[in-house]
């Protein structure tokens, strides 16, 4: 009978899909997995709060995490919605002792938590440090290119890119986020987002009923031509 994977093996498999650690060897990933653990959060449960001290870095396994920052009038402004296999709160590794944003589960979520002290101990090893720095250089080039690309996308393109990245190019999607939260995730105000959805529905590219989103193949094909 096949032996079930250990927690460390599960974490290793997940970290293998994380772009942030994409340049690390299997041996380095195994060491990192050994210093990590899994956590689960209910919808609306808070992982950490802006400006509070903390030493954990996270990788989203499933669900949705919304990152917010307090605005000038005291209201919360959505910075972004974290995608599965994406790292967040990495600023506490080197930049600050406190979290620069607040993280809340927008849907039931599972994450990998990495303690900063354990990670810094791994960096004391020369081989691990070299691999990590090489991976960071590659990621910086990727992010610079992505920022240049996103600047040229309109709200419709950002909407379909968000669906594709979070759920895949499926004809039927069950959305975990509300329309308001999804608008914030793609950097659109709710009114603009609602008008866009109505426009797409009139063109029969999208049908949004409750939590279910139907996307036509014509919509996916049109986005594919623009990317």
Question: Is a pLDDT exceeding 90 seen at residue 21?
Answer: no
Residue with tokens 């594709």: 164
> Domain map of the chain by residue range?
7-149, 153-226
DSSP percent split of the chain into helix, strand, coil, nearest 5: 45, 25, 30
Q: Which architecture does CATH list for 7-149? A: Sandwich (2.60)
The more confident residue out of 165 and 214 is 214
For 90-94, the CB contacts below 8 A with 24+ separation are 90/20, 90/57, 92/54, 92/55, 92/56, 92/57, 92/116, 93/57, 93/119, 93/120
Q: Mean per-residue pLDDT for 177-200?
A: 84
Mean pLDDT of the chain: 84
Q: How many CA atoms lie within 13 A of 52 on its CB side?
A: 11
The CA distance from 118 to 218, in Å, is: 48
Where does 153-226 sit in CATH, by number? Answer: 1.10.10.10
Q: Give me the pLDDT at residue 149, please.
A: 55
Question: Is a pLDDT exceeding 90 seen at residue 202?
Answer: yes
Q: Give me the pLDDT at residue 168, please.
A: 83
Mean pLDDT check: name the lowest of 35-44, 116-125, 184-193, 205-214. Answer: 184-193
Q: Give me the pLDDT at residue 226, please.
A: 45
């Amino acid at each position: 009978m096949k032996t079930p994977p250990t927690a460390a093996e599960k974490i290793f498999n997940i970290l293998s899909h994380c772009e942030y650690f994409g340049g690390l060897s299997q041996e380095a990933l195994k060491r990192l997995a050994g210093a990590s653990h899994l956590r689960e959060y209910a919808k609306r449960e808070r992982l950490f709060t802006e400006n509070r001290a903390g030493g954990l870095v996270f990788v989203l396994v499933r669900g949705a995490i919304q990152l917010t920052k307090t605005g000038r009038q005291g209201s919360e402004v959505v910075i972004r919605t974290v995608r599965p296999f994406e790292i967040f709160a990495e600023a506490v590794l080197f930049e600050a002792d406190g979290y620069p944003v607040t993280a809340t589960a927008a849907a039931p979520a599972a994450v990998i938590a990495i303690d900063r002290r354990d990670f810094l101990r791994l960096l004391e090893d020369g081989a691990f440090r070299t691999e990590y720095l090489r991976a960071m250089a590659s990621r910086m080039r990727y992010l610079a290119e992505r920022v240049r690309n996103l600047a040229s996308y309109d709200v419709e393109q950002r909407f379909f890119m968000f669906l594709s990245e979070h759920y895949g190019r499926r004809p039927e999607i069950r959305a975990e986020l509300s329309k308001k939260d999804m608008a914030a995730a793609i950097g659109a105000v709710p009114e603009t987002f609602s008008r866009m959805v109505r426009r797409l529905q009139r063109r029969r590219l999208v049908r949004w009923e409750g939590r279910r989103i139907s996307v036509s193949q014509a919509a996916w094909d049109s986005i594919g031509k623009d990317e």
